Amino acid sequence: YDKAISACCGDKSFLRPTRATPNALYRGEKVTYDVNEHRCADIGGYPCSFDMMINCGEFCVGSFSAKQAASNIFYWTTDSCQMKIKVRIDGAAAIVHDPPSTTYQNGIKSKGYPITVPYVSSDKNINYINVHWPRDAYTGDEIFPTIDNDCWNGECKRMDDWTCLCDIQEENDLVFTSMPSKKEVLTQLKIGAFEPELYDSGDYRHVGSTNEVEVYAPKDAADYTKATFFKVTNELRETKY
């Protein structure tokens, strides 16, 4: 979900400051935000927070359809969108997107309740995942916001369905700066990677290995970065990356 249709505003020619025009090379083309910036610059425009789509034809925004996902249209905008999590009473959490209080219908912006696709909305999202919360040192119970602790003493918003809606802050830090042990890899790293053979040839290089750990890093990066991954075998003799 890191791609959408290009949308550009401008101050000259057919572009308008608050009315966006799509700049797609073919029907349904979706691009990254960086490509969108370049596309807008190519026609003398810029990404923007727009009030209306113009010159969009079949690209104009309509209502979201869960049954016909291919027909849903998303544009790039400079509007903010805060990411939150919704925590269930059992500790499972769902990712929620909280855009400005703006509604888009048929390409037109109006103030009102924000339209958010169901799979990331605060009231309809049912895509819960298990979370490894910290545990109380004495009771062993997991510590997380719940209605029993008033959604972390009011830090989170209590919802009507007995869940807590919380602001979050993402942290993406480097874990290892030198060769770790197998135990360190298995206990401290929680996100998996693909086998190095599945990447394009030359994208990753073999950094080094011990009897228990192999290290792979991007070809043009240092040995240990956030993109470095490790190959180990767990206690079930399963190979993990």
How far does CA 40 lie from the centroid of its chain? 24
pTM of the model: 0.67
Q: What is the pLDDT of residue 172?
A: 83
pLDDT tens-digit readout, 19-76:
888 888 887 788 999 999 999 999 889 998 887 777 776 656 555 666 666 667 788 8
pLDDT tens for residues 61-109? 555 666 666 667 788 888 888 899 999 999 999 999 887 765 554 445 5
pLDDT confidence of residue 61 = 57
Given pLDDT bands bounded at 50, 70 and 90, which one contains residue 126?
confident
